[in-house]
Structure 1
């Protein structure tokens, strides 16, 4: 249900962001015509592109639009492994502050301009300085310069273990430098990608038509002669399109209509992008003194019936968890998911040991996007151990702003599980992280994060595992489960889902033979 990843500091607050900002657009009524020989693929998407400028491009739910018209410097496999693309080789200097990429010499943009190292350097700097919600991914990029036509050098302010991953996403998109000053740069993309946008047949905010690029340098990524991307404003409109055979594959708003989608002959391709649960941000007891005591935070872990919460909050679709690291992470430890059981008696015992035998009062925010019944269930389960919760209802993005601003000691939230441990730590754990709203500065945590950033692969892996266990033991968060996201495909289409992204990468959607 929660899958809109990457909206500035809103990244990962997917369901809330979708529910509060809307998805826009209306469905096209044209029938799809995908064939095993590579005819037309019609995709159902839940957001329209915010910009076709590579500099300002969004990712996640908007990645198919970008991947149709642009190439990235590097490519990520479905499991997140880094692979060559426009860059065929890459290497770091000894302290990982200089990254050199070797580039292809046979690629041309759709306006006839040749792709080279100078174009790559310009695109990197423009993205860093642009208005993309993900521009901060290049915060460590000090400079990018062409060494020669086929080599570009990236100088970093500090080692960034996620840099290669960023170059597989919108930070790595390559646009023709001649298009930078075009007056229609936001609406007419000029890339070197496998498809070209047919602006005459597209309807802004509703339907986008892409034709196969002739003589494309990597024809193995062109599985269709035409791709149509239709935007649906809500789950009902999308379900009608699926039942009417108007799409071959689609992202979904939530899992409430999966039975009807399966009855229409579609296959559900599940993935788990996020974790859902409580952020116990006030670990120093700034607003709620009780939360400074680790036994109090651990008591909250024991207070929740995660199975009941999964059923109530996510219709039963998902996997119970007690850690915020994804299963794809080397830091994931299955044994940590049995650290805390549902045990109200144990929770009361811990509260008494911490000096709160009669519990305490906890003020939390609520928002309609999560559903009133969900907050009622949380309130009930905390009341069962003596913790009295008072909710303050917030509107719109005020909920998110309040959380990252440290306005509430604890809050229900859904946050992304990033492809790399460095990304996850930088986003949710580090003392400067957006979702460390109180900026908890724990020397043990900071030491592990520093090793993840600067250590060898073996050292970083060990530090990540230790960090994960420490966070669970110290109860920084109370994860309930990893909610299932669902991408659905018809009988003519197969797909491989992408680790860390709401939508499969375009080249991994193919006709069935």
Structure 2
């Protein structure tokens, strides 16, 4: 059924007084639908944005970032200080319990950090390679030691480093822990069923003084619904209370329904095309030629894509970063105008006057991939689209099988550029450029406490990334949300959906 017909049918039902009642408020259960299933809810073993959302509800970090100001506030740690240029000491809260009732101590922090830095199965190792080790001073004091000065340490420890329960995880093992995990967060996982539905219950013994606060809503149910039209139908029909990523052309129609309310908010997420200039997929790949990559940059009309796919204030940056982040300076990048004739000329200069065949991997909205496919075809590049699930695209990228990949970046909510640079330009499994000069600059910027030296290194790295056409930002996100009229939900700039702050009317 087309969305217009669906909306028309539901509108008639509403006007006739026969629309279904929304059940979320009635049984104090918030029903959230996500586009992608989460194969492993343990946050260290998935790279999906949805996985991070589960994580902030079930687990806590040493520090917790204020979503409005980005200020770091006490989380599992009450106090912290720099002992030397590589060592940070944390004084832990004495009143924190895990969901099984066991107390949280320094042993849990030491176990978590020392385990993840040694585990080759961790999904995003670049987030933790800076850690040398963690040491226990006493039951409520721990030290985290970096391999070398790492000025972003506190930012990483405040967002993407949740703490495991040592005793429980050692007892049940990693595989069972992923099926029945526990943390210290404001919600506990009540069940994960075979269909991938994840049920959370409010943890009534959650520690006082947490910046997250005590949740108002008792239960949350997360379900994966891949089809956007089905998501819409479930929201309209009362089976779901919250959806996101509503297509722009559907947003206004949905806003007119009396049982639903909508929200539009600019968030720190950027759609991009990553080009395999290092030739991991093919040692003879045309993408190894800088002129071919620059041709692709000129071939895509990013401004039109932003207006068409992200109305409401989307920007078109030249580098993947956000103005609030340390190290982000768009003026340091090379700008590429939309110029298909120049793209054709560059392809001819590179030895491909008739273009070439390639593959374009994506998990994002199919129309985005279709638009890029058409832009490339117009200059002679025939790109076959590989539309796959998030996990499949990430796996293919890690294996070096994605000549071109469309995806989105939000930076794990860390308010500086190092996560992006560490993730894509340090020679790891997601580095498609394999550019040693950029690698050295990223390393230099991430391993000194000298702010001026950091900025210099990051600016030079971003200039080379753009000049050598390794990574093309498409547009920033303006997110469209739909929700029950009974739900109070606030969107934040970092694109983390904090349902523990949501309330019913």
The TM-score with structure 1 as length reference comes to 0.76
1:103 deviates by 0.9
1:300–1:195 CA distance, 2 compared to 1 (3 A): closer
Structure 2 residue corresponding to 1:277, chosen from 273, 287, 297: 273
Pick which of 471-480 and 175-184 moved more.
175-184
Q: Please name the residue that 2:9 is paired with.
A: none
Q: Please name the residue that 1:341 is paired with.
A: 337
Counterpart CA distance in 1 for 2:88 and 2:420 is: 22
1:104 deviates by 1.1
1:328 aligns with 2:324: yes
1:365–1:128 CA distance, 2 compared to 1 (3 A): same
Corresponding residue pairs, total: 469
1:328 deviates by 3.4
1:268 aligns with 2:263: yes
| Superimposed CA distance per residue, residues 189-235 of structure 1 (whole angstroms, 9 cap, x where no aligned partner) | 44333234445x98873351413414632376113150222414232
Counterpart CA distance in 2 for 1:198 and 1:382 is: 48
Q: Please name the residue that 2:171 is paired with.
A: 181
Q: Please name the residue that 2:32 is paired with.
A: 44
1:405–1:100 CA distance, 2 compared to 1 (3 A): same
Counterpart CA distance in 1 for 2:432 and 2:152 is: 22
Counterpart CA distance in 2 for 1:268 and 1:333 is: 30
1:342–1:401 CA distance, 2 compared to 1 (3 A): same
Counterpart CA distance in 2 for 1:500 and 1:405 is: 29
Counterpart CA distance in 1 for 2:242 and 2:392 is: 34
1:212–1:407 CA distance, 2 compared to 1 (3 A): closer
Q: How does 1:90-105 map to 2 (within 5 A)?
A: 90-96=80-86, 98-105=87-94
Q: Please name the residue that 2:498 is paired with.
A: 505
Contact 1:122 1:177 in 2 (8 A): no
Q: Please name the residue that 2:429 is paired with.
A: 434
1:467 deviates by 2.6
Contact 1:258 1:268 in 2 (8 A): no
Counterpart CA distance in 2 for 1:398 and 1:238 is: 22
Q: How does 1:79-478 map to 2 (within 5 A)?
A: 80-96=70-86, 98-129=87-118, 131-134=121-124, 137-175=127-165, 177-178=167-168, 180-182=170-172, 185-199=177-191, 205-206=196-197, 208-214=199-205, 216-218=207-209, 221-234=213-226, 235-252=228-245, 257-264=250-257, 265-270=260-265, 271-279=267-275, 281-282=277-278, 287-288=284-285, 292-293=289-290, 297-310=293-306, 314=309, 318-335=314-331, 339-347=335-343, 354=349, 359=353, 361-367=355-361, 377-378=371-372, 380-382=374-376, 384-385=378-379, 388-392=380-384, 394=386, 403-406=397-400, 410-418=403-411, 419=414, 420-430=416-426, 432-442=427-437, 446-478=440-472
SS at match of 2:447: helix
Give the gaps of 5 or more residues in structure 1.
1-28
Counterpart CA distance in 2 for 1:323 and 1:407 is: 24
1:438 deviates by 4.7
| Superimposed CA distance per residue, residues 416-446 of structure 1 (whole angstroms, 9 cap, x where no aligned partner) | 141332211111223x04333251222x662
Contact 1:208 1:228 in 2 (8 A): yes
1:33 deviates by 1.0
SS at match of 1:240: helix
Counterpart CA distance in 1 for 2:73 and 2:429 is: 29
1:346–1:171 CA distance, 2 compared to 1 (3 A): same
Q: Please name the residue that 1:12 is paired with.
A: none
1:380 deviates by 4.8
Counterpart CA distance in 1 for 2:225 and 2:486 is: 25
1:162 deviates by 4.3
Contact 1:197 1:210 in 2 (8 A): yes
1:58–1:41 CA distance, 2 compared to 1 (3 A): farther
Contact 1:303 1:381 in 2 (8 A): yes
Counterpart CA distance in 1 for 2:130 and 2:366 is: 41
Counterpart CA distance in 2 for 1:400 and 1:100 is: 35
1:150 deviates by 1.7
1:250 deviates by 3.4
Q: Please name the residue that 2:64 is paired with.
A: 75
Aligned Cα root-mean-square deviation (Å): 4.0
SS at match of 2:161: helix
1:304–1:438 CA distance, 2 compared to 1 (3 A): closer
SS at match of 1:71: coil
1:179–1:500 CA distance, 2 compared to 1 (3 A): same
1:459–1:395 CA distance, 2 compared to 1 (3 A): same
